[in-house]
Amino acid sequence: MTASIIDGKAFAQGLRERVAQQVASFRAAAGRAPGLAVVLVGEDPASAVYVRNKHKATIGAGMESFEHKLPADTSQADLIALVDRLNADPAVDGILVQLPLPGHIDERAVITRIDPDKDVDGFHPVNAGRLATGLHGFVPCTPLGCLMLLKDQLGDLAGLDAVVIGRSNIVGKPMAQLLIQESCTVTVAHSKTKDLSSVVKRADIVVAAVGRPAMVKGEWIKPGACVIDVGINRTERGLVGDVDFAGALSVAGAVTPVPGGVGPMTIAVLLRNTLVSAHRRAGVAYDKDAL
Ligand code: NAD
């Protein structure tokens, strides 16, 4: 049996096009474009690439992009003052502070300062609480992108056994919340989980978000399972995921590649969240089903 390879790049492209269509209708209704502000502190090369890609994608979708590049020695007070200005700026619908921040800045203090209704990354505790209690808020982009791929692949997820490997606030925990909302039976595995292979073996859905190259072996996977690989690991062989891709291909029903699976979804969902924020803030209706 050979699994089908989930084309996250194509799905993300489709989502970006649907976002761009609704950007056009929003502009006509509100008389302005949705705006995303991205803040980068310091010169971390990976972060600089992410920020550049977000800027390009934002412009590409017809939105307004406000880039704020601050030196690495920016004080926490100055960064918070910028967040306050962006919170108050009516042209800004979404605020994203690129993580990680330099060591002298308390990330939590900065993230909690963002207006939850502009927190398109969904990292503010208010949005985490909204997700946990089923209220409308912003859901972190990577797990929401994973859910879109799963639903596209499997349709209704109700009753399926799902295992999420990883319990971070950014991926693992919100992923588990989303799958609970879809009526899956969810197990969250992590670094202290005993006998991970047997936990994974019973899952119809496996989401791996660990950061260890090819840790999930093909023989751990239940035949026919849908495997979503969030991991991004830079190795001598190039970029690899958390799942042994070749091994998974021979047993799974469907699997995301790295690169070209979950990665492209993250920016597409960021644009989607910014579009939603603009509509909510302006009181303009939007087509939820197209997003
Ligand atoms: P993290 O380091 O915050 O969390 C990793 C999690 O893995 C922890 O909860 C830990 O308990 C668990 N873990 C560690 N070792 C384990 C083991 N041996 N067995 C089982 N669980 C173990 O990482 P994160 O921010 O959640 O990111 C996870 C991975 O996803 C990384 O490779 C990251 O680069 C990638 N990522 C990709 C995207 C994307 O857009 N594709 C976005 C965010 C993160």
Say if residue 239 is in the same domain as residue 163: yes
Total Cβ atoms within 10 A of residue 14: 13
CA distance 207 to 175: 8
Q: For position 1, what pLDDT does the model report?
A: 67
- Give, for 228, the enclosing helix (H) or strand (E): strand 226-229
Mark whether 111 and 152 lie in a shared domain.
Answer: no
Specify whether 201 is located in the same domain as 239: yes
Residues 6+ apart with CB under 8 A from 59: 65
H helix or E strand, kind and range, residue 276: helix 263-282
Q: Is the pLDDT of residue 260 over 80?
A: yes
**11 in a domain, yes or no?**
no
Compute the average pLDDT of residues 176-202.
Answer: 98
Residues of the chain above pLDDT 70, percent: 100
Residue 206 binned pLDDT confidence (cut-offs 50, 70, 90): very high
Would you say residue 283 lies in a domain? no
Residue 280 falls inside a structural domain: no
Q: Is residue 85 part of a domain?
A: yes
Kindly state whether residues 40 and 74 are assigned to the same domain. Answer: yes
CATH code for the domain of 183: 3.40.50.720
Domain membership flag for residue 148: yes
Q: 30 CB contacts (<8 Å, ≥6 apart)?
A: 278, 282, 284
Q: Is 243 in the pocket of ligand 1 (CB under 6 A)?
A: no
Per-residue pLDDT at 110: 98
Model confidence pLDDT, tens digit, residues 59-77: 999 999 999 999 999 999 9
Whether residue 237 sits in one domain with residue 201: yes
Q: Quick check: is 249 in a domain?
A: yes
Nearest to 268 by CA among 88, 28, 20, 68: 20
Cα(62) to centroid of ligand 1, in Å? 32
pLDDT of residue 76: 98
Q: Structurally, how many domains does the chain consist of?
A: 2
Q: Is residue 49 part of a domain?
A: yes
How many CA atoms lie less than 13 Å away from 94 in the CB half-sphere? 34
Single-letter amino acid code for the residue at 52: R
Averaged confidence pLDDT in the chain? 97
Average pLDDT over residues 31-59: 96
Q: 161 with 259, same domain?
A: yes
Do 76 and 153 reside in the same domain of the chain? no
Residue 54 is among the residues annotated as catalytic for this protein: yes
- Interior angle at CA 87, CA 84 and CA 90, nearest 5: 135
pLDDT value at 174 more than 70: yes
pLDDT computed for residue 241 by the predictor: 98
Write the residue with the smallest CA distance to atom 5 of ligand 1: 210
Nearest residue CA, atom 6 of ligand 1? 166
- Rounded Cα–Cα distance for residues 272 and 137 (Å): 13
Q: What is the pLDDT of residue 225?
A: 98
Inter-axis angle of helices 263-282 and 8-30, to 10 degrees? 20
Residue from 28, 75, 86, 102 nearest 285 by CA: 28
pLDDT digits (tens, 9 = 90+) for 79-102: 999 999 999 999 999 999 999 999
From the candidates 54, 118, 173, 222, give the one annotated as an active-site residue: 54
List strands edge to edge, sheet with 94-97: 64-70, 35-41, 94-97
- Residues 111 and 159 both lie in one domain: no
If asked whether residues 152 and 245 sit together in one domain, one would say: yes
Return the pLDDT at 230. 98
Could you tell me if 109 and 148 lie in one domain? no
* Residue 121: active-site member: yes
Give, for 4, the enclosing helix (H) or strand (E): strand 4-5
The three-state secondary structure class of 216 is strand
Q: Which domain holds residue 202?
A: 141-263
Asked if 94 and 182 sit in the same domain, the reply is: no
Q: How far is the centre of ligand 1, averaged over its atoms, from the C-alpha of 230 (Å)?
A: 8
For 135-170, write each residue's pLDDT tens digit: 999 999 999 999 999 999 999 999 999 999 999 999
Question: Does residue 173 have an active-site annotation?
Answer: no
The CATH number for 42's domain is: 3.40.50.10860
- In this predicted structure, what is the pLDDT of residue 160? 98
Contacts of 53 (CB under 8 A, 6+ apart): 267
The domain boundary, picked from 50, 82, 116, lies at: 116
Helices (H) and strands (E) in the chain, counts: 10, 11
Q: Please indicate, yes or no, if residue 188 is contained in any of the structural domains.
A: yes
Q: Is residue 146 domain-shared with residue 251, that is, in the same domain?
A: yes
